[in-house]
């Protein structure tokens, strides 16, 4: 299987191009040795087999005759797994190198020499003991030793000397100890190996630190976890050494070896430590930009989520017993990183401005970030984050000095469905002060959302307050109901006028909701003072309800309306073929969409116009099927209502 992975990669060996005998000071070389966890015991996954490019190179310590193309011992090639020997697995060195080149300047390359043998004791790397050790090695280890000429230390040094002609050795990476658990002389023996390396390669200890990784912890059940006490004390003996914590690094079922995710995390920690020793700040999710501020959707008392000036979002979640955590936002899942206290962190790519749902993914399930406000979307409660616009977004923000309306939460009984139902109702600021009656807009959300969407995600009330205060919109009541589309799409016949999904709402609206609103609020009850609009499936419902009840409505709008394949000659009993009558009855028809979505709205508007229907069409620049599109659409739509 590993051979197939190498063949599938189709990567050519990358020669180190040097025309001079002088070593390149910008080619950083690292010596890597140890036993099975350095060798790599987890099968690489698809993400691991993507080449890191020509800045991360491997000088193989053995031949890879079956690789395509073949790898030759001592010849630089791109560092894709397996790095140790053919048929070995993912190793911490893979993500050590990848982490290094993510942060180091573009002109700096990283090269590794990798010698490791599963189960080998530290004596197997001690020059004065390796010959005797090889004589008593277990049978299963003999082929591994033979691959290195029965002297892994000599192979490491021989290749290191060759590599010094090309670059500069900057450090040593070690992962060993499981086979020496309880050996009180282990630290002294590591010191001897390190001293021999420095002497044979003429290196200075202050310029070549040794990084030693802890062994598998497995939540306190690691098979060799007792060895970590000795590893942690190594700097007391070897003063230029640093310990790499394995806390939180996930492991395989044997509780001896890391799994692929564990190797990635441990490798990143090796890389981050080496970068810091070299004077670089690692580009890790824990490095939060100085200009990042707590998101406005974050629950007070929490520091994260945060958003920086480049519109990157930072998330932190406390999940000390989880093995893998991801944040799922804007169609992409980001692996979160865990620190030693069990705190997981991630930073996203720059996000587009506006509101976005997101989830924390743990163990195959989506969870809500406990630090964020919740919003009903995706057919369930979800986390959400606002990526702020600049001043152009002030139209949906509350403005100081602007009179504020109210959003009321109310329950009413629907005889049509014999149930209590919930609605949200906006009344303008002036509503409380007199006996005036007001026109009504019935405003629907989209599939998988609910009646709270327009007031929470959509900021409807702030848009209304600002438009009324500026004189652009007449004061009106806005009613928002669930529309019976909170559950996932059910399929069935959903042609215009024949809808099954959400159709139970149609009779509720006409027989229960409108009469209830007209009796409980001071409304103008004639058709000229009643409008309906909706986003996505709410736009579909708007077409179904209004065009089947034109004696009750005179204004309508669909924002990214799910109005697919509308036949303008036949839909709704041919209402669009009677354009003069339609234009007299519907005082204003508004259609909109985001420039980056493909909902067919432009074609719909054209077909209606070609049929003589008056249509106002708006495109939100740079937005997709999202709340920013619908905020902008609402802001464009409302000023036209109830003015004819």
CA angle, 429 as apex, 426 and 431 as ends, to 5°? 80
Q: Alpha helices, DSSP H only, in 202-315?
A: 227-232, 234-237, 260-277
> Which residues on adjacent β-strands are paired with residue 307?
293, 313
CB atoms within 10 A of CB 597: 17
488 in Cβ contact with 379 (< 8 Å): yes
174 in Cβ contact with 186 (< 8 Å): no
Catalytic, 36? Answer yes
How far out from the chain centre does Cα 322 lie?
Answer: 17
Q: What is the DSSP string of 428-493?
A: -GGGGGS---B-EEEEE--TT--TTHHHHTS-HHHHHHHHHHHTSS---EEEEE-TT-SSPP--S-
Phi-psi region of 573 (alpha: psi -120 to 50; beta: other; left: phi over 0): left
Residue 108, token pair as written in the block: 């700096």
What 3-state DSSP class applies to 385?
strand
Q: Which of 257, 361, 445, 624 is catalytic?
A: 257
Q: Which of 128, 195, 232, 254 is catalytic?
A: 254
Q: How far apart are CA 14 and CA 17, in angstroms?
A: 9
What 3-state DSSP class applies to 42?
strand
Q: How far apart are CA 644 and CA 638, in angstroms?
A: 13
Exposure on the CB side of residue 491, measured as CA atoms within 13 A: 0
Residues near 408 by Cβ (< 8 Å), separated by ≥ 6?
A: 424, 425, 426, 427
Q: Which of 36, 455, 499, 560 is catalytic?
A: 36
**DSSP type of residue 305:** S
**DSSP type of residue 4:** H
* Matching residue, tokens 């979160």: 336
Backbone angles phi, psi at 273, to 5 degrees: -65, -45
539 in Cβ contact with 563 (< 8 Å): yes
How far out from the chain centre does Cα 336 lie?
Answer: 9
How far out from the chain centre does Cα 289 lie?
Answer: 18
Residues near 55 by Cβ (< 8 Å), separated by ≥ 6?
A: 101, 106, 108, 109, 110
Q: How far apart are CA 439 and CA 486, in angstroms?
A: 27
Catalytic, 254? Answer yes
442 in Cβ contact with 398 (< 8 Å): no
76 in Cβ contact with 14 (< 8 Å): yes
Catalytic, 257? Answer yes
Q: Which residues of 96-106 are buried (b: 16+ CB within 10 A; e: fewer)?
A: bbbbbbbbbee
- Give the residue numbers marked as catalytic: 36, 254, 257
């Amino acid at each position: 299987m590993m051979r197939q992975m190498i063949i599938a990669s189709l990567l050519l060996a990358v020669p180190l191009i040097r025309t001079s005998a002088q070593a390149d000071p910008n080619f950083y070389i690292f010596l890597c040795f140890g036993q099975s966890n350095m060798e790599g015991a987890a099968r690489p996954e698809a993400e691991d087999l993507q080449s890191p490019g020509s800045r991360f190179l491997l000088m193989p310590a053995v031949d890879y005759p079956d690789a395509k193309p073949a790898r030759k011992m001592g010849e630089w090639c791109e560092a894709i797994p397996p790095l140790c020997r053919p048929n070995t697995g993912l190793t911490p060195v893979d993500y050590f190198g990848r982490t290094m080149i993510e942060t180091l300047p573009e002109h700096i390359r990283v090269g590794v020499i990798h010698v490791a043998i599963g189960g080998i004791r530290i004596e197997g790397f001690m020059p004065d003991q390796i010959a005797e050790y090889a004589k008593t090695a277990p049978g299963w280890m003999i082929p591994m030793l033979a691959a290195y000429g029965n002297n892994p230390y000599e192979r490491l040094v021989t290749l290191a000397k060759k590599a010094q002609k090309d670059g500069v050795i900057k450090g040593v990476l070690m992962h060993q100890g499981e086979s020496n658990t309880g050996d009180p002389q282990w630290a002294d023996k590591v010191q001897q190996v390190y001293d021999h390396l420095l002497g044979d390669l003429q290196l200075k200890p202050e310029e070549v630190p040794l990084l030693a990784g802890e062994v598998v912890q497995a939540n306190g059940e690691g098979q060799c976890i007792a060895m970590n006490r000795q590893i942690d004390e190594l700097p007391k003996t070897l003063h230029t050494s640093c310990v790499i914590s394995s806390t939180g690094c996930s492991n395989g079922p044997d509780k001896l070896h890391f799994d692929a995710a564990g190797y990635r995390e441990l490798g990143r920690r090796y890389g981050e430590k080496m970068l810091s020793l070299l004077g670089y700040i690692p580009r890790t999710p824990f490095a939060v930009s100085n200009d990042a501020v707590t998101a406005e959707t974050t629950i007070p008392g929490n520091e994260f989520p945060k958003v920086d000036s480049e519109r990157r979002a930072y998330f932190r979640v406390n999940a000390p017993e989880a093995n893998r955590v991801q944040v799922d936002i804007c169609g992409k899942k980001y692996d979160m990183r865990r620190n030693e206290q069990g705190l997981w962190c991630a930073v996203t790519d720059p996000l587009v401005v506006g509101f976005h749902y997101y989830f924390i993914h743990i163990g195959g399930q989506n969870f809500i970030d406990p630090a964020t406000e919740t919003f009903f979307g995706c057919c369930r409660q979800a986390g959400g984050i606002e990526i702020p616009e600049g001043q152009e977004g002030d139209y949906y923000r509350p403005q100081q000095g602007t009179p504020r309306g109210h959003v009321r939460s109310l329950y009413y009984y629907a005889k049509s469905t014999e149930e209590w139902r919930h609605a949200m109702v906006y009344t303008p600021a002036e509503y409380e002060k007199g006996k005036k009656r007001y026109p009504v807009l019935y405003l629907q959300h989209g599939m998988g959302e609910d009646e709270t969407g327009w007031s929470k995600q959509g900021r409807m009330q702030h848009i209304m307050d600002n438009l009324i205060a500026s004189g652009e919109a007449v004061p009106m009541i806005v009613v928002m109901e669930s529309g019976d589309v909170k559950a996932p799409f059910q399929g069935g016949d959903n042609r215009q006028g024949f809808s099954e999904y959400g159709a139970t709402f149609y009779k509720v609206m006409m027989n229960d909701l409108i009469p209830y609103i007209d009796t409980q609020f001071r409304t103008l009850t004639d058709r000229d003072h009643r409008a309906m609009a909706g986003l996505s499936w709410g736009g579909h419902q708007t077409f179904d309800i209004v065009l089947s009840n034109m004696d009750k409505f005179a204004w309508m709008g669909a924002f990214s309306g799910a109005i697919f394949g509308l036949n303008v000659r036949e839909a709704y009993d041919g209402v669009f073929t009677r354009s003069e009558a339609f234009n007299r009855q519907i005082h204003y028809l508004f259609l909109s969409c985001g420039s980056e979505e493909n909902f067919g709205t432009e074609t719909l508007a054209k077909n209606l116009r070609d049929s003589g229907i008056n249509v106002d069409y708006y495109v939100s620049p740079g937005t997709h099927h999202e709340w920013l599109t619908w905020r902008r659409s609402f802001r464009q739509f409302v000023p036209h209502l109830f003015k004819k």
